[in-house]
A and B are shown apart, each in its own frame.
Chain A
Amino acid sequence: MYSLLVPSFCAINKLSSALFQGGNYIFEFDSFADRDICREFVAAAIAFHGETGKSTSEKPAAALQDEQLSTAEMEHRIKLLQEDNELQRLHKQFVIGGILTEAEFWATRKKLLDQNDRRKPKQRVALKNEMWSVKPLSDGQSNRVTFNLTPEIIHQIFAEKPAVRQAYLKFVPNKMSEKEFWTKYSRAEYLHSTKNVVAAAAEAAEDEELAVFLKQDDMLTNEARRKIRRVDPTLDMEADVGDDYMHLPDHGLLREESKDVLDSQYEPYRRYFSQDLNQHAAVVLQGRVVDVELGDTRSVAEALARTKQAELANEVSDGNLEKDLSHRISRVAEIEDLQGPRDLAVAPLCIKDPRDYFDSQQANALKPLGDAGSGVKTLKFNVSSVEAYGSLRELISEIRVTGLSEPITDPEVAFKVLSGLTQNISSTKYHLGKSPHESILDSLPKVTKEDLLHHWTSIQELLKHFWSSYPITTKYLYTKVTRLKDAMSQVYPKLQVHFVLLDNYNCFLYNGLPTCVYNFSCIFSLNSRKLRNLCSQISGIKFPYLSNQCFRL
């Protein structure tokens, strides 16, 4: 029990640490003012410790006190580990084994972590192809008709009917509320669906705003006119081959245009289905032009308006379109047979002297080989072909007559040859890496090979961390380096086991492996004596200053 008269800072600290340890405490105060002050401090202290306590208890025992990771990050890391076996092995070996901390392990793999985050789908959801059908839900009993307007539908309406969008921006929230606006719009749609043009005209005459919805969209017509001017006159017959519009009237859809002839005063109130369909198709194919949250209708409308204006501005400024178009027409419409030959921009390759070109390499290749003449001398003299061929034929007939000799070769000569060959083979046996088809690793049994490769990756990882902690400036780095050094020195006995096993197979590795491990340790050139000493301490090998040690395994 603590009794406080005036809360002091060190007392609060003690209190905080006590709270952190999780006990229960009762405080007694002399006055309410004191209690209130104390309560504030304590609340702050509890909040502070509560956070850290919570986070440490959430994380696994693998020492994550230094970072606060979100669960998403943790999941991400676990997923990465699950996908890659090698990574998991390394993680188990080092982090669970206590050689590296989690933070250090992932510090070198930032790229992996980042990459995955970007795997969120880059595709955007397209617009629905469904035209907002004017078949509202109607109660059979009452005269009410209900329209459902979702933000998605609103977005589509704004995209397809610029007049409605303009009206929205103009009227809402000045003249009417949003609900009223959509009610009016729905009424207009309903009127259209009844196909009663006369009624539509009548209502339009009464209500100005309604008239906007009922009349034909001027903005649309302007847009259409502009588009027509820019249409590519060349026709691609291939593209339309699969489409079949001929057989079904109205493209198979249910709406039909009324064939009545009406007075001209009603003309503006007619709606043509083909126009609607074309506009709808154009909008859907264009896709989502605006990437705005669909919730706020006004912002959607404004965004769309802005895009359209930008498009318009671009068109106006783009004067080259006419030229491009005419170029394209002339290119596509030409008949190949009637064109003159087109001169290519390339010059033909002419090699002046092919013999010289091809011979030069060969003549030189012979030079460094030298002349290892083995008692066989070629005398350069001029021989007539008759003579040469004659002697050849003679020799052939000679052997036909005499037959094969018995024995074929002198035994002594044969023995000499055999021993010479054996010696040659055994001396060149240890020349590694000369043939492109040989691989030391492949000549090992599979288990050994995998083990060796794992040792290699783990040593790589350790070395990466080792060298990244130089220069050693803090105590933390020093302990880290010592930890890594110990881990590395433990690898050597494991490799020695392999040597002993492989020695039994009389493998080439016996000479080669210490060399390559030695090379591991000196991938980076060692400039300072201190570093060299540390490394020789690790590997037990004394080595000199190395400048360009190439890594081979």
Chain B
Amino acid sequence: MTPVASKLYTDDVSLLMVLIDTNPFFWNSINSTLSFSKFLSNVLPFLNSILLLNQLNQVVLIATGYNSCDYIFYSSASQNHNQRAESLLQKLEEFVAKDESLCREDSVDGPGFSLLSGSLSMALCYIQKVFRSGPLHPRPRILCLHGSPDGPGQYVAIMNAIFSAQRLMVPVDSCILGAQHSAFLQQASYITGGVHLKPQQLDGLFQYLSTVFATDLHSRSFLQLPKPVGVDFRAACFCHKNTIDMGYICSVCLSIFCKHHKQCSTCGSVFG
């Protein structure tokens, strides 16, 4: 993209980072109206429509795999515009092959977990690079098209990524494709001021995407977007995993207990 004079950068120029979930076990386990090919056939027109909304809009596609993540598509890369989808799909296939080669397990139970923390970090790094490229840049936001369940081992990494997004003032929108809700993405959207949606009808995915997620940040100040009913931030006690409102907290490691203990089970410090 050739650089443009400042007065041509209007408020609604956006940089959209799309993180698509390419966890094969998840896509395999969905026995429903949305197969991966249908999913792609909804996402590709959506990307095209984003690029049509404004000449200066940019889109970056990142694939969240089972073992790795990678950048699949940059709209700002100079290439033949007619061949965009082609090159995207080509790269996607290569990525899947690479991901398979990294796979160390022979079989996996259930949908498995995809590396959301990795792709979030890659998106944030790209955004940071854009911020540092000069005073003139489009307003970035992240859209997670996610279906795999939340991986508990990634909790810390994801929370860190969410807080970085909050600091950078980058909203994280999330669209849940799987059956269960994702607590991480709900919190992510809540904290960063993004939109969280779990579509009821997955075959109309393109309609959802273009109605809700295509809105740029400037327009969101006067457009009404769907709001989730509420996010449950309550903590769970470490001993029984029950949700509690009031409890005891260890002052050393901040672990939460519902009953008074003599000693913290996590860090071993004695309560005086």
Q: Which residues of A contact B (CB under 8 A)?
A: 347, 349-353, 355-389, 391-393, 395-400, 402, 404-405, 408-410, 413-414, 416-418, 420-421, 424-426, 428-429, 431, 434-437
Instruction: Judge if B253 is at the interface, Cβ distance under 8 Å.
Output: yes
- Give bound CA distance, A71 to B96, whole Å: 86
- Give bound CA distance, A420 to B107, whole Å: 39
Interface pair A376/B206, CB less than 8 Å apart: no
Q: Which chain B residues (222-271) contact chain A, with CB distance < 8 Å?
A: 224-227, 229-230, 232, 234-238, 241-243, 252-253, 255, 265-269
- Give bound CA distance, A365 to B242, whole Å: 10
Segment with Cβ contacts to A, from B75-83, B124-132, B194-202: B194-202
Interface pair A389/B204, CB less than 8 Å apart: no
Interface pair B42/A409, CB less than 8 Å apart: yes
**Which residues of B lie under 8 Å from residue A386 when comparing CB positions?**
100, 106
A378-B30, A409-B204 given; A385·B105 CB < 8 A = yes
Nearest B residue (CB) for A393: B96
B64 vs chain A, min Cβ distance (A): 13
Interface pair B236/A385, CB less than 8 Å apart: no
A56 vs chain B, min Cβ distance (A): 59
Segment with Cβ contacts to A, from B8-16, B53-61, B135-143, B177-185: B177-185
A389-B100, A414-B207 given; A396·B25 CB < 8 A = no
Contact of B29 among A378, A393, A413 (CB under 8 A): A378
Interface pair B243/A413, CB less than 8 Å apart: no
Interface pair A352/B35, CB less than 8 Å apart: no
**Which residues of B lie under 8 Å from residue A347 when comparing CB positions?**
269
Interface centre among B30, B103, B204, B224 (most CB of A within 10 A): B204
Nearest A residue (CB) for B237: A360
Interface pair A380/B29, CB less than 8 Å apart: yes
Instruction: Judge if B133 is at the interface, Cβ distance under 8 Å.
Output: no
Contact of B241 among A360, A396, A413, A416 (CB under 8 A): A360
A352-B267, A378-B178 given; A396·B37 CB < 8 A = yes
Instruction: Judge if B32 is at the interface, Cβ distance under 8 Å.
Output: yes
| 9 more CB-based (< 8 A) A-B contacts, given A363-B241, A393-B93 | A358-B153, A372-B198, A374-B202, A378-B180, A386-B100, A391-B27, A416-B201, A417-B207, A435-B190
Interface pair A396/B107, CB less than 8 Å apart: no
Interface pair B266/A353, CB less than 8 Å apart: yes
What is the 8 Å Cβ interface bit string for chain B, positions 84-105, against chain A (1 contact, 0 not)?
Answer: 0110010011001101100101
Contact of B89 among A362, A370, A399, A418 (CB under 8 A): A399
A382-B107, A396-B40 given; A357·B204 CB < 8 A = no
A360-B238, A366-B150 given; A414·B204 CB < 8 A = yes
Interface pair A352/B266, CB less than 8 Å apart: yes
Interface pair A371/B180, CB less than 8 Å apart: yes
**Which residues of B lie under 8 Å from residue A372 when comparing CB positions?**
181, 198
A197 vs chain B, min Cβ distance (A): 74
A202 vs chain B, min Cβ distance (A): 80
- Give bound CA distance, A402 to B35, whole Å: 14
Interface pair B179/A377, CB less than 8 Å apart: yes
**Which residues of A lie under 8 Å from residue B1 when comparing CB positions?**
none
- Give bound CA distance, A361 to B156, whole Å: 11
**Which residues of A lie under 8 Å from residue B252 when comparing CB positions?**
349
- Give bound CA distance, A513 to B205, whole Å: 39
Contact of A369 among B35, B41, B152, B232 (CB under 8 A): B232
Nearest B residue (CB) for A399: B37
A353-B266, A385-B100, A421-B211 given; A391·B29 CB < 8 A = no
Contact of B108 among A355, A378, A388, A424 (CB under 8 A): A388
Interface pair B211/A395, CB less than 8 Å apart: no
Interface pair B93/A364, CB less than 8 Å apart: no
Contact of B36 among A362, A370, A396, A434 (CB under 8 A): A396
**Which residues of A lie under 8 Å from residue B234 when comparing CB positions?**
368
Contact of B203 among A365, A395, A410 (CB under 8 A): A410
Nearest A residue (CB) for B104: A385
Interface pair A385/B108, CB less than 8 Å apart: yes
**Which residues of A lie under 8 Å from residue B156 when comparing CB positions?**
358
A170 vs chain B, min Cβ distance (A): 63
